[in-house]
Amino acid sequence: MIVSKFVFITGGVVSSLGKGLTSASIGLLLRSRGLKIRMLKLDPYINVDPGTMNPFQHGEVFVTDDGAETDLDLGHYERFTCRPMTQASNITTGRIYSDVIERERRGEYLGGTVQVIPHITNAIKDAIRALEKPGVDVILVELGGTIGDIEGLPFVEAFRQFNLERPHGDVMFIHLTLIPYLRASGEIKTKPTQHSVQKLREIGIQPDMIICRTETFITAEHRAKIALFCNVHKDQVIQEEDVANSIYEVPLMLMNQGVDMSVCRYLHIDPADADLTDWKAMLDRVLRPEKTVEIAVVGKYTSLTDSYKSVYEALAHGGIEHRIKVTFRKVEAEDIEEEGAEAILSGVSGVLVPGGFGRRGTEGKMAAIRWARENKIPFLGLCYGLQCAVIEYARHVCAEPEAISGEWFDEEGEGDLSKAYVALMDSQQNVTAKGGTMRLGAYDCKLKPGTKAYEIYGSEMVQERHRHRYEVNPEKVETLEKNGLTISGVHPEKGLVELIELKDHPFFIATQAHPEFKSRPVKAHPLFAAFIKTATEESEKRAQ
Ligand code: GLN
């Protein structure tokens, strides 16, 4: 018999409360008690997935092993729970509707009127139940957006029905809300939370636990008030204060208030003792760093941290591994175009160029890469970062000043395709749809013995996640190699370039993949760990 239990997590008052972090933290706590968990993020927007959305609007697109382009909250889930997510872990309104409409076209509703209730709500419940498998103890379901949003309603209604259909003790509702602090009067306010819970109750959902995001400590009196007006027991009013140092403190903050045991009690689960040894050891390294290093991240969306979420996290993990605190110089590539690399990058210990799309900013990225290459400053390139590094190398080392990416030709008719060092592969030639059509998900990469990459990864065959259309042009590999670029990793069957590096440089490595998605605070990705370590050592050497 399948006996999974469910925790539904909703948000109140405002968005960006850290619902993803809180859900991930609860996931970690349950897992640390030996429970097998699954996580699901439901997004009420109409895009089928976030793959086509602008990073400025939505932040980073997180890619799973099975090639799903998903919400960045799945990144938190993976980083906290150390479990890979899948296509089934992120469902949007767009996905639900497109499935229902497809079924309608196939005649599967037998002439009936297709409606939000029951057809859309049934499809939502099916998506939730799809995660229910023998052996899975708890499924955490996080709803994006805020209670009261029109677009979220079908989901909340589906939750209500879901609860009704399950035996008592199978479902728990957690509401995460903001308790604002009014500086002028020095008070905290519970009214918005009361209203948010009223909205939930109107639809028929009574939260079992309220997690309060606050700037300051909330007193027992306030807790009692929230409990009374929101109809929850006062022990179930939890405080999630802003953390001073690291988001990785959140799980312990919740554990100290008994959140994990409360969830288990509600769901009638008798768990093992919590084992957070690795997490606590990691936190100790975060909170007591011995060194600091500054890394420049040269991108196009640097004003919004979420656009490169996993990249910043992975860099931080690299530091955590070696008790090094990583600080970021967030550089807009176009500023380098205006002011020059030296003016903007001078003093940093490492340069990272992340993934990206389109021509804008690429000259600045290439100038940054050239600066790092010539000044022997450690450089790590990710995806577009590798492509820019290859074109920069072709232009300035292989004496191919007209080297371009086919992407620029396709976008703006720029240049001559015979000079494309980065080109569209056959499989992408006739693809016109934008959504879900890239090279996506985990692919093998075979490393060349004797290279730095081989040494860093410590194995010959590795798997990394991809999300791109263009590849290093196989016809140009010979020129690149002849001029001293090392191809340190290739796709074993297709021979496509996966990793490049330079010999006479302390650390100049770029990958066609997105290793940042697989980095964890308790286990940094080896490329990031090695990058931060070398960047720190090299800057120490320069300082001597
Ligand atoms: N724009 C490049 C491509 O499509 C790189 C994509 C990326 O960096 N994720 O191939």
Q: pLDDT tens digits, residue range 87-110?
A: 999 999 999 999 999 999 999 999
Q: How far is CA 513 from the centre of its chain?
A: 15
Contacts of 468 (CB under 8 A, 6+ apart): 355, 383, 384, 438, 439, 512
* Number of domains within the chain: 2
Q: Are residues 154 and 253 in the same domain?
A: yes
Q: Are residues 30 and 102 in the same domain?
A: yes
Q: Are residues 300 and 327 in the same domain?
A: yes
Q: Are residues 141 and 185 in the same domain?
A: yes
Q: Read off the pLDDT of residues 283-334 as tens digits, 9 standing for 90 and up.
A: 999 999 999 999 999 999 877 878 899 999 999 999 999 999 999 999 999 9
Which of 264, 281, 298 corresponds to the end of one domain? 281
Asked if residue 435 belongs to a domain, the reply is: no
Total residue count of the chain as it appears in this document: 544
Catalytic residues: 383, 514, 516
Residue bearing the CA closest to ligand 1, atom 7:
355
Q: How far is it, in rounded angstroms, from Cα 447 to Cα 498?
A: 9
The pTM of the whole model exceeds 0.85:
yes
Q: Read off the pLDDT of residues 148-198 as tens digits, 9 standing for 90 and up.
A: 999 999 999 999 999 999 999 999 999 999 999 888 888 888 899 999 999
Query: Which residue range forms the structural domain that includes residue 380?
Result: 289-401+440-543
Structure confidence at residue 430 (pLDDT): 65
| Contact (Cβ atoms closer than 8 angstroms) between residue 445 and residue 460 | no
Q: Are residues 76 and 155 in the same domain?
A: yes
Contacts of 476 (CB under 8 A, 6+ apart): 390, 394, 420, 421
> Residue 437, class by beta-carbon neighbours within 10 Å (0-12 exposed, 13-18 middle, 19+ buried)?
middle
* Ligand 1 centroid distance, CA of 58 (Å): 17
Which of 248, 281, 314 corresponds to the end of one domain? 281
Torsion angle, CA of 155/158/162/164, rounded to 10 degrees?
130
Q: Is the CB of 357 under 6 A from ligand 1?
A: yes
Structure confidence at residue 103 (pLDDT): 94
Q: Are residues 59 and 205 in the same domain?
A: yes
Structure confidence at residue 431 (pLDDT): 65
Structure confidence at residue 51 (pLDDT): 84
Coil, helix or strand at residue 463? strand
Across the strands, what pairs with 289? none
Q: Are residues 122 and 158 in the same domain?
A: yes
Q: Read off the pLDDT of residues 179-190 as tens digits, 9 standing for 90 and up.
A: 998 888 888 888
Could you say which residues of the chain have pLDDT below 70?
1-2, 426-436
Of all helices (H) and strands (E), which one includes residue 500?
strand 497-502
Asked if residue 433 belongs to a domain, the reply is: no
Residue bearing the CA closest to ligand 1, atom 3:
468
Neighbours of 103 (CB within 10 A): 14
Instruction: Among 69, 380, 383, 412, name the best residue to mutate to test ligand 1's pocket (greatest count of ligand atoms within 8 A of Cβ).
Output: 383
Q: Is the CB of 407 under 6 A from ligand 1?
A: yes
Structure confidence at residue 127 (pLDDT): 96
Neighbours of 484 (CB within 10 A): 12
Q: How far is CA 144 from CA 70, 95, 96, in A?
A: 13, 15, 15
Asked if residue 408 belongs to a domain, the reply is: no
Q: Are residues 176 and 86 in the same domain?
A: yes
Q: What is the CATH number of the domain that holds 317?
A: 3.40.50.880
